[in-house]
Structure 1
Amino acid sequence: MGASAKWERGSVVRDWSLAAVVAIVQFAASSGADTHQTGVRSLDAFAYLLLLAGPIALGFRRLLPVPVLLVTLFAALVYVLRDYGYGPIFLSLVIAFLTAAVRGPRRRTYPIIAVGFLLLVWPLPALLGRDTGSWQVFGLLAWLGVLIGVAEGIRSRRTVRLAREQLAEAVRRDEQARQARAACEERLAITGELHDVLAHSLSLINTQSSVALELFDRKPQQAAAALATIKTTSKEALTEVRTLLHTIHAGEPASPIAAAETAVADAPVPAPAPQPPRPARHTPPASLEDLDGLLAPARATGLAVETKIIGTPKKLPDVIDVAAARIVGESLSNVVRHAPGATATITLRYTPASVDITVDNTRPTGVAARGGPGGNGIIGMRERAHALGGALTAGPRPSGGFRVAARLPAQVRTPDTDDAATSSTRP
Structure 2
Amino acid sequence: MKTGDVGKGRGDGSLVGDRLRMVARALRQDLLTVSEPVAERGRASEGWLAWRPALVVPLVIGAVIVMVGGTDEYAHRFHLGVQAGVALAGVQSGALVAALYRPLAAWWVTTAVTLVAGVWAGGRADPAVLFPWSGVGVGISALILFFVAITHRPRVVIETFVIGYGAGMLCVALAGERQNSPSGGLALVLFAIAGVVGGALRGRRVARKQLVVQEEITAEERARRTLLEERSRIARELHDVVAHHMSVISIQAQVAPHLVENPSEELRENLAGIRQNAVEALTELRRVLGVLRSEDPSAEAVRHAPQPSLDRLDELVANVRGAGLSVTADVLGTRRPLSPGVELSAFRIVQEALSNAMRHAPGAAVRILIAHHRAGLVVRVTNTAPARPVAPSPGAGHGLLGMRERTAMLGGELAVGATPDGGYEVSATLPLGESLGEPMGLPVGEPTGAPLGVLPLGSTPPQPEGTP
- Report the CA distance between 1:334 and its aligned residue: 3.8
Aligned residue in 1 for 2:177: 127
What CA deviation, in whole Å up to 9, does each residue of 1:380-413 have, x standing for no partner? 2222223333333445544355433222223265
Pick the aligned partner of 1:108 from 159, 163, 175. 159
Letter in 1 for 2:349: I
Q: Report 1:233-248 matches (<5 A).
A: none
SS of the residue corresponding to residue 127 of structure 1 reads coil
Aligned residue in 2 for 1:381: 403
Q: Report 1:404-415 matches (<5 A).
A: 404-411=426-433, 414=436
Instruction: Indicate yes or no: 2:138 matched with 1:99.
Output: no
Higher relative contact order (CA 8 A, sep 6+): 1
- Report the CA distance between 1:293 and its aligned residue: 4.4
TM-score by length of 2: 0.60
RMSD: 4.7
Distance 1:369 1:13, change over 3 A: closer
CA contact (8 A) 1:66 1:100 kept: yes
Q: Report 1:137-176 matches (<5 A).
A: 137-138=181-182, 141-142=185-186, 144-176=188-220
What CA deviation, in whole Å up to 9, does each residue of 1:312-341 have, x standing for no partner? 333333212211111112223444555565
Q: How many residues align?
A: 357
CA contact (8 A) 1:346 1:360 kept: yes
The CA distance in 2 between the partners of 1:334 and 1:26, in whole Å, is 63
What CA deviation, in whole Å up to 9, does each residue of 1:239-293 have, x standing for no partner? xx9xxx9xxxxxxxxxxxxxxxxxxxxxxxxxxxxxxxxxxx9543222255334
SS of the residue corresponding to residue 168 of structure 1 reads helix
Q: Report 1:411-422 matches (<5 A).
A: 411=433, 414=436
The CA distance in 2 between the partners of 1:287 and 1:22, in whole Å, is 76
The CA distance in 1 between the partners of 2:391 and 2:109, in whole Å, is 64
- Report the CA distance between 1:63 and its aligned residue: 8.3
Instruction: Indicate yes or no: 2:87 matched with 1:43.
Output: no
Instruction: Indicate yes or no: 2:117 matched with 1:79.
Output: yes
Pick the aligned partner of 1:327 from 327, 349, 358. 349
Distance 1:370 1:32, change over 3 A: closer
The CA distance in 1 between the partners of 2:78 and 2:359, in whole Å, is 85
The CA distance in 2 between the partners of 1:397 and 1:77, in whole Å, is 71
CA contact (8 A) 2:67 2:93 kept: no
Aligned residue in 2 for 1:392: 414
Of stretches 158-167 and 380-389 in structure 1, the one that deviates more from structure 2 is 380-389
Distance 1:395 1:12, change over 3 A: closer
Letter in 2 for 1:43: V
Distance 1:198 1:297, change over 3 A: farther
SS of the residue corresponding to residue 404 of structure 1 reads strand
Distance 1:18 1:119, change over 3 A: farther
Distance 1:371 1:66, change over 3 A: closer
CA contact (8 A) 1:392 1:407 kept: yes
Letter in 1 for 2:119: L
Letter in 2 for 1:171: E
SS of the residue corresponding to residue 313 of structure 1 reads coil
The CA distance in 2 between the partners of 1:294 and 1:175, in whole Å, is 31
Instruction: Indicate yes or no: 2:225 matched with 1:186.
Output: no
- Report the CA distance between 1:376 and its aligned residue: 3.6
Aligned residue in 1 for 2:249: 205
TM-score by length of 1: 0.65
Instruction: Indicate yes or no: 2:107 matched with 1:69.
Output: yes
Distance 1:6 1:326, change over 3 A: closer
The CA distance in 2 between the partners of 1:197 and 1:26, in whole Å, is 82
Instruction: Indicate yes or no: 2:370 matched with 1:348.
Output: yes
CA contact (8 A) 1:355 1:410 kept: yes
The CA distance in 2 between the partners of 1:408 and 1:16, in whole Å, is 61
Aligned residue in 1 for 2:464: none
Of stretches 18-27 and 342-351 in structure 1, the one that deviates more from structure 2 is 18-27
Distance 1:396 1:215, change over 3 A: same
- Report the CA distance between 1:69 and its aligned residue: 2.8
CA contact (8 A) 1:19 1:56 kept: no
Of stretches 195-204 and 104-113 in structure 1, the one that deviates more from structure 2 is 104-113
CA contact (8 A) 2:362 2:387 kept: yes
- Report the CA distance between 1:364 and its aligned residue: 5.7
The CA distance in 1 between the partners of 2:418 and 2:379, in whole Å, is 16
CA contact (8 A) 1:101 1:110 kept: no
